[in-house]
Amino acid sequence: MKLLSLLSATLIGSSAAFAPARVNVQQRSTAVAPASMAAAEGEYYIDQERRNLMNLILVGSAAVTVGGLAVPYILFFVPPGAGGGSGGTPAKDALGNEILEKEYLAIKKPGDHSLAQGLKGDATYLIVKADGTLENYGLNAVCTHLGCVVPWSAANNKFMCPCHGSQYAPTGAVVRGPAPLPLALAHIDTDEKGTIVFSTWSETDFRTEGKPWWT
């Protein structure tokens, strides 16, 4: 009996020697918590940077897209080229060559209405008067209705738009709608080389006795 008790005590003592040590759960939790928080904060910081970058890319892409759509939409409501501009612009022919007054009048007859490249590149009529000299103003050929180029009809002695039927007098004044405004005017002069030069007409429109609509 004593031998059995002694053997049991020996076994219990041996098992206690190999048993794992107790761990303080509170201390372990306290030690692990800062590391977990630091890792979580690091992950949050990285994700926030990525989120900000993606937001910038998204906003930039949206701005470019909206701008690309808005600009043509706005320009649709802006009147077509009105023949305005700052300073003088040499008149040019269809090939882009500057037009010299002396040479031009040598080949044009009185009453001629021919197109040249004028202010802002708009097609502009050069008008030869009955005495063979050049009129002191040019007429922008862009119709004030929807922007068609208006041809001169010598047979009818007026400008007649083929798009919607607008008609203009030889001076560019409206004689038939739907065009709401007269053709834009531009001054015509010659420089020291004899080149025909266009410049902005900013004073009173002699046809309407009002302020020029194109300035």
Q: What is the pLDDT of residue 69?
A: 67
Q: Do 93 and 42 share a structural domain?
A: no
Kindly report which listed range (48-52, 117-121, 161-165, 168-172) carries the lowest average pLDDT score: 48-52
Q: What is the pLDDT of residue 61?
A: 77
User: Can you tell me the distance from the alpha carbon of 143 to that of 51, in angstroms, rounded to the nearest whole number?
Assistant: 52
Q: Do 187 and 120 share a structural domain?
A: yes
- The CATH number assigned to the domain holding 95 equals 2.102.10.10
Is residue 165 one of the residues assigned to a domain?
Answer: yes
Q: Do 122 and 190 share a structural domain?
A: yes
Q: Do 97 and 69 share a structural domain?
A: no
Q: Which of 120, 53, 66, 62 is nearest to 91 (CA)?
A: 120
Q: What is the pLDDT of residue 56?
A: 78
pLDDT tier at 52 (50, 70, 90 boundaries)? confident
Is residue 141 one of the residues assigned to a domain?
Answer: yes
Range of the domain at 48: 35-78
Q: Do 72 and 103 share a structural domain?
A: no
User: How many domains does the chain divide into?
Assistant: 2
User: Can you tell me the distance from the alpha carbon of 215 to that of 204, in angstroms, rounded to the nearest whole number?
Assistant: 11
